[in-house]
Structure 1
Amino acid sequence: MRSEETVRQRFGRLIASAARTTGRYDLDSHGGKAALARAAGLSESTMGRVLRGESIPDPRFFEPLAAAVDLDVRDLLVEAGIISPESLSTPSQTRASGVGSKTITLDEAANALGIHDPVAREMLAATVERLRRIQDAADESDGGGAAAHA
């Protein structure tokens, strides 16, 4: 067997260490492991394999598992070696994409979309303004969640 720690082993070690640090899970007892499994939404057998470094759970369980042990999911995934720190960069940080790299005006957007008719440009501006009001109302009513208002 290699002396180098595998990704599965590192993931399990990080989860076990964080679980112990929270003080909520006694991983030396069946009850503590079962409680951690419930908190993460995993079966007890899967949690056992994770803690032993034998497997990594399905990605849909990364967030609940990290939350159960008070870890930031991004930090867990980077520290375990599942993703690279560079993969967390936004497109504007990496310049890999133009998405989010620059704020544009309504006129620039209309030009980029090929909208030159003055009436169509006014309709675009009115639509954007209406969407901003809807978003503001949604933010005020539910603390930032999206709501469909017509």
Structure 2
Amino acid sequence: MRSDETVRQRFGRLIATAARATGRYDLDSHGGKAALARAAGLSESTMGRVLRGESMPDPRFFEPLAAAVDLDVRDLLVEAEIVSPESLQPLHQTGATGVGSHSITLDEAANALGIFDPVAREMLAATVERLRRIQDVERESDDGGGTAAQA
């Protein structure tokens, strides 16, 4: 990767290199560029600008363009430095929850939900406790949750 390359230039270089590697596109001829444009669903003028590193295609064309040159779209986006490898990891692998909140107590949950009646708050607590027990039974049974409803 060249440090002086812009994202557009890097993206265009990666597409051109991959297109040539497929053996299906002679990018030195108008016909090869036109065939690549058709395969990706882009206009010929847009494809020319992409290959020259002058512009980026609309993101909806990333997948068809990657497929046209036999690249995995994730690899293309990471290599072009459009996205980071970490951003493509499933949340369970990153340790992130995907939720921007912290754990709260039952009282905080009841308050946030506008439940102030003491009986309703007890019902909420009982429901949460029941759900916790069901979850514990599912973990212990290892049968896909079939016995959870019996708890």
* 2:97 alignment counterpart: 97
- 2 CA distance for matches of 1:98 and 1:57? 29
SS of alignment partner, residue 54 of structure 2: coil
Query: By how many angstroms is 1:98 displaced?
Result: 6.7
- 2 CA distance for matches of 1:54 and 1:81? 16
- 1 CA distance for matches of 2:98 and 2:18? 38
Matches within 5 A, 1:25-40: 25-40=25-40
Pair 1:51–1:93, CA change in 2 (3 A): same
Q: Percent identity?
A: 83
- 1 CA distance for matches of 2:83 and 2:61? 15
RMSD: 2.9
- Letter in structure 2 aligned against 1:97: T
State the structure with more CA Rg.
2
SS of alignment partner, residue 84 of structure 1: coil
- Letter in structure 1 aligned against 2:30: H
- Structure 1 unmatched runs, 5+: 100-107, 113-124, 127-150
* 2:62 alignment counterpart: 62
Query: By how many angstroms is 1:95 displaced?
Result: 1.4
| 2:110 is equivalent to residue 111 of structure 1 | no
Count residues in correspondence.
Answer: 108
Q: Is the 8 A contact 1:92 1:98 kept in 2?
A: no
* 2:82 alignment counterpart: 82
